[in-house]
Structure 1
């Protein structure tokens, strides 16, 4: 190599190949590469590079992505979204969070009906009223009144809330204004299940029907006759409806033809999550079992059972660790305990890429299944101190849980989307 020629052996590569090389690096490595020369710094700002990394990690499209980037505004929306999530994940791993406690002492709160979109939280109070809380400040924002009987099901997306009640109606609310936009009538018995997808919602009623509604127009689009009760399950992906009707079979429905396409025998246990992708059906049950089915043949492709103890145990243990309870009994394996806690912060999802599925949500499992002997001992110690912890909601930035302590109940929000001002910010 002659004097004066660039020492960087990749400097002659076209930008497309150079960006391809960068795509294999993690964010910190890209930061280091960007400090070597002006060309790599410019390549490291490429929005297409960060868009690919966001999609690979399941990070949603930022709202600013459709806006033109202002001159001198710094990082583009895709890069900002990725680096922001990196900071949040680091906080999860290191146990750094801000705690907010909600004052629910006089609200008549139902502590088992909470849901959230990460910005706001909603719950049912006094059986037939909806309370909206800020997930940022922990303050109550507004109350939604309109149902004349007990509310069974509630869902939210962005500023839209959908609720189903024993009064046989479904109400669509604007969370920002508190206005009831539509009251959907048609069911003749209690509406016990709702699943919101885009601008449509599937409602399951004890009148043995599932209805598909357009929440913008209030129109009922389809009616499926299916055996639905309080313990049933309903899911809707915008094309197919998934339901468990008789307790032992999971069914896939075509709303257009009102026909059952396939039925799968499953154990009688609570369903945590289902997902359809191509000819694959994913089923996650509350006992910690993950099953993948072929929807064309009805054959079971894969069953994962060995995570049962891991999933349930780490969820509860992470809560205990976060709240700093040091009352571990003698003989408890502290190193093993610490390992579980570190793992749960690193693994908020489980990847099934070999079956075509990406991240599978593993949070929200009911407590009381899959405990090992040491965990049982620890739980007994918690009960003696009148302290019990429940997972309620997990999202990318927050953990929302209910704690029972000394005969009182409280909701706590652990916000991992924060940074200590005294620390130097990581500039990517």
Structure 2
């Protein structure tokens, strides 16, 4: 838009009444680029129209639509301009959009039912809470510590999904915890359990022992659904899908069963450290490579050198779990994530770790540290590490976190769950009261 065009616009604008100006400006905003709008605003100011509020003169719905593109800091600045702009920035539509954008990567922190019950005036308050939690997270400032007690020996494995935590222990039990309430909802007894997995959607829990057996229970009825044998040495990792259960052991084999029928599907010779099922494919990690096997016939359908060990494997598992359909182009998705994994070489000495790939966070414990010293690495900040700070009132529970040795760590969008050598489970939460 040239200067002559601006003069033409101004000559038309001068003869319009208030209602005509609103209509005229609405059409103008829709046709102009942001730069043209800025130039027009400066021209109006030079022509002694500087006191005219273009945005405030627009229909309210259009003003709200414009303000939705601003970030939180800009919205707060706009709020100080005048009463009109303040009322626009108070509109619940803006804050609902901001909340949903943030919650998209925070799956599990707030349920769909919770969202339905939020009143219009509650969206800004919710966003403020989520924003403060994000700031606390990125700065490693824990707001609250909670301790879950029940296990009598070291935690050997743990899985956190939503508000459900499943832990296996050397005390010969597997426990289901409601993380929100801190209550242990059920205890399964057996042998010394080495690894666990569960599917909330199927309501099943699987656990394997150091004595070659794997067990499957119903989370609803608490009944034993099946016992799976076949390995001749201790099981290292177990994985569940909607139809299959797979485990790898020190005997150099991966065994797959149909957990619904109990039928053994395949025995695959693979010196696997860890396995993961995706639909009809098993992803396997060995000491130097990643392989994928077809569940039905056990044939290797993909193989790639992989020297990044369990840290790299953990990142890939979390990455594949965070995308919508990991079965679509799973190998391309996996290989694209290797560029990130390659940059994790500085952290290979870590003893315990977990990722939140949706938020580009990596929580780790230095391998040389005997106590619970947690570090937070942010991928978006050149992997800069920060020591996680505990609240000053941490000893009010009678337990000292600095004396605990973490065996497992799970990370989700707003907390860290750590299983300790003592059997204690520590919840580190970043929400402000």
| Alignment TM-score > 0.5, same fold | yes
Distance 1:67 1:113 in 2: 31
Alignment of 1:73-112 (within 5 A): 74-75=121-122, 84-92=129-137, 93=139, 95-103=141-149, 107-112=151-156
- TM-fit CA distance, 1:311: 8.7
**Please, what is the CA RMSD of the aligned residues?**
4.7
Distance 1:75 1:199 in 2: 42
- TM-fit CA distance, 1:348: 6.9
- TM-fit CA distance, 1:164: 1.9
The match for 1:234 among 271, 275, 290 is 275
Higher relative contact order (CA 8 A, sep 6+): 2
Distance 1:50 1:182 in 2: 41
**Residues 1:82 and 1:173: Cα distance change in structure 2 (over 3 Å):** farther
Identify the residue that residue 44 of structure 2 maps to in structure 1. none
- 1:180 and 2:223 aligned: yes
Identify the residue that residue 211 of structure 1 maps to in structure 2. 256
Identify the residue that residue 363 of structure 1 maps to in structure 2. 363
The match for 2:85 among 29, 36, 47 is 36
**Residues 1:198 and 1:75: Cα distance change in structure 2 (over 3 Å):** farther
- Secondary structure of 2:292 counterpart: strand
- 1:154 and 2:171 aligned: no
Distance 1:411 1:118 in 2: 16
- Secondary structure of 1:195 counterpart: strand
**Residues 1:67 and 1:131: Cα distance change in structure 2 (over 3 Å):** closer
The match for 2:288 among 248, 262, 267 is 248
- Secondary structure of 2:135 counterpart: helix
Identify the residue that residue 338 of structure 1 maps to in structure 2. none
- 1:412 and 2:426 aligned: yes
Distance 1:302 1:134 in 2: 33
* CA distances 1:245-279 after superposition (whole Å, capped 9, x unpaired): 4x222112233553212211222743433255635
- 1:259 and 2:259 aligned: no
User: Which blocks of at least 5 consecutive residues in structure 2 are unaligned?
Assistant: 1-12, 23-52, 321-325, 370-374, 376-386, 388-401
8 Å Cα contact 2:217-2:223 kept in structure 1:
yes
Identify the residue that residue 129 of structure 1 maps to in structure 2. 173
**Residues 1:85 and 1:259: Cα distance change in structure 2 (over 3 Å):** farther
- Secondary structure of 2:266 counterpart: strand
TM-score, with structure 1 as normaliser: 0.59
- TM-fit CA distance, 1:241: 1.9
Identify the residue that residue 266 of structure 2 maps to in structure 1. 223
**Residues 1:396 and 1:125: Cα distance change in structure 2 (over 3 Å):** same
- 1:280 and 2:320 aligned: no
Could you say which structure has the larger radius of gyration?
A: 2
- Secondary structure of 2:136 counterpart: helix
**Residues 1:403 and 1:164: Cα distance change in structure 2 (over 3 Å):** closer
Distance 1:302 1:367 in 2: 21
- 1:304 and 2:351 aligned: no
Aligned length: 335
- 1:26 and 2:71 aligned: yes
8 Å Cα contact 1:224-1:255 kept in structure 2:
no
8 Å Cα contact 2:414-2:429 kept in structure 1:
yes
User: Which blocks of at least 5 consecutive residues in structure 1 are unaligned?
Assistant: 284-290, 294-300, 317-346, 351-357, 370-374, 379-385, 420-428
8 Å Cα contact 2:174-2:187 kept in structure 1:
yes
**Residues 1:157 and 1:184: Cα distance change in structure 2 (over 3 Å):** same
Distance 2:131 2:102 in 1: 11
Alignment of 1:194-209 (within 5 A): 194-197=238-241, 201-205=245-249, 206=251, 208-209=253-254
- TM-fit CA distance, 1:27: 4.1
- Secondary structure of 1:36 counterpart: helix
Identify the residue that residue 107 of structure 2 maps to in structure 1. 60
- TM-fit CA distance, 1:200: 5.2
- Secondary structure of 2:156 counterpart: coil
* CA distances 1:275-313 after superposition (whole Å, capped 9, x unpaired): 556353547xxxxxxx845xxxxxxx67633x5447978
Where is the helix percentage greater, Structure 1 or Structure 2?
Answer: 2
- TM-fit CA distance, 1:17: 9.9
